[in-house]
């Protein structure tokens, strides 16, 4: 996730880090090349593009911008839902830790390290990494290592442990129901995150937008070259930067759990939970918080 303050005038003019520009440079170079070709053609053969009016491009540009705003809103909604789900996860972990604060140290250690294992496993699962390796750093799920959903197996293990505490009369039924409520919240968070990952924005929807924006930007220079000459580059590149930039940004927001600069900082949120759980267990050797690197928080 990009973490920068409100851009100053200097940032607006010169900032590249945190900008979408590096992602769309090839497209802009292609549009610039086509524009130069159109300019030379208009100079060599005056009037060759006289019948190409800019009015249709105005109408198409308005429609395209509205269409693009709808897609970007849909992508941002996915990103924000992912952030809300991880916010619920953090709250549930803190609440669970508070609700087991009266248990014996060994019980608390098992349960709180289990929460760390669940969080690590969920982050790895959402990013297509090895769940088992991430979980084993915190807890052992035994025979469930071969489960198709190892992250859920951690929650199952935590729930079974709480049920064992009830059967041994170490916690009451009401206490157990409260803990089970937090486990249910964590399970809902995992299900919500998996739904976002497994249900991308429809391919045909994105493909239509990509094609329309590309055709629009490739043909626009031929409508302007005859009247603007070398000034054609300015409006064409500005329009291309806006359309391709919004398209690339929407693509990054579409997968909120990925590794793109604008994706959610799962590593930082996971580390925050780990530090808080270990601190509640009395550990003095806490892992350092993850800091932004070049204004990007992972």
Residue 254 maps to a domain = no
Domain that holds residue 118: 83-200+263-282
Residue 108: C-alpha distances to residues 118, 170, 179, 289 (Å) = 15, 12, 13, 23
Is 208 domain-assigned? no
What angle do helix axes 21-44 and 233-254 make, rounded to 10 degrees? 150
In this structure, is residue 124 part of a structural domain? yes
Q: How far is CA 42 from CA 45, 55, 83, 185, 222, in A?
A: 5, 19, 51, 64, 8
Number of domains in the chain: 1
The per-residue pLDDT for 15 is: 56
Q: How many CA atoms lie within 13 A of 101 on its CB side?
A: 10
Task: Indicate whether 70 belongs to any domain.
Answer: no
- Asked if the structure places residue 87 within a domain, the reply is yes
Which pLDDT score, from 0 to 100, does residue 12 have? 53
Report how far residue 90's alpha carbon sits from residue 257's, in angstroms, rounded to the nearest whole number: 16
Per-residue pLDDT of the chain (298 residues; tens, 9 = 90+): 666 566 555 555 445 555 677 888 889 899 999 889 888 888 888 777 767 777 777 777 788 888 888 888 888 999 999 999 999 999 999 999 999 988 898 999 999 999 999 999 999 999 998 888 999 988 888 777 778 899 999 999 999 999 999 999 898 899 999 999 999 999 999 999 999 999 888 888 788 888 888 888 888 888 888 788 888 889 889 988 988 888 888 888 888 998 888 888 999 999 999 999 999 988 888 888 888 776 667 7
What does the alpha-carbon distance between residue 84 and residue 194 come to, in Å, rounded to a whole number?
A: 14
Flag whether 172 is in a domain. yes
pLDDT at residue 40, as a whole number? 87
Residues 154, 235: Cα–Cα separation, whole Å = 55
Asked whether residue 114 is domain-assigned, the answer is yes
Q: Is residue 71 part of a domain?
A: no
């Amino acid at each position: 996730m990009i973490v920068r303050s409100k851009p100053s005038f200097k940032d607006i003019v010169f900032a590249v880090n945190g900008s979408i520009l590096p992602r769309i440079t090839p497209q802009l170079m292609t549009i610039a090349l086509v524009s130069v070709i159109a300019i030379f053609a208009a100079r060599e053969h005056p009037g060759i593009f006289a019948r190409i009016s800019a009015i249709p491009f105005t109408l198409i540009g308005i429609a395209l911008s509205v269409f693009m705003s709808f897609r970007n809103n849909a992508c941002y909604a996915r990103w924000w839902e992912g952030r809300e789900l991880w916010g619920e996860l953090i709250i549930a972990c803190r609440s669970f830790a508070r609700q087991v604060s009266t248990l014996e140290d060994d019980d608390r250690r098992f349960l709180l390290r289990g929460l760390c294992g669940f969080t690590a496993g969920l982050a790895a699962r959402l990013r297509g990494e090895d769940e088992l390796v991430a979980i084993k750093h915190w807890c052992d799920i035994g025979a469930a290592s071969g489960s198709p959903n190892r992250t859920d197996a951690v929650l199952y293990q935590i729930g079974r442990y709480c049920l064992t505490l009830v059967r041994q009369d170490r916690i009451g039924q009401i206490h157990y129901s409260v803990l089970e409520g937090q486990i249910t919240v964590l399970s809902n968070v995992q299900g919500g995150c998996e739904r976002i990952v497994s249900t991308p924005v429809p391919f045909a929807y994105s493909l239509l937008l990509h094609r329309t924006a590309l055709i629009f930007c490739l043909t626009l220079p031929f409508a302007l070259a005859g009247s603007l000459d070398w000034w054609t580059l300015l409006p064409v590149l500005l329009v291309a930067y806006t359309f391709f930039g919004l398209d690339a940004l929407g693509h990054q927001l579409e997968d909120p759990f990925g590794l793109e600069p604008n994706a959610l900082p799962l590593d930082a949120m996971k580390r925050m939970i780990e530090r808080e759980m270990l601190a509640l267990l009395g550990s003095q050797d806490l892992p350092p918080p993850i800091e932004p690197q070049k204004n990007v928080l992972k």
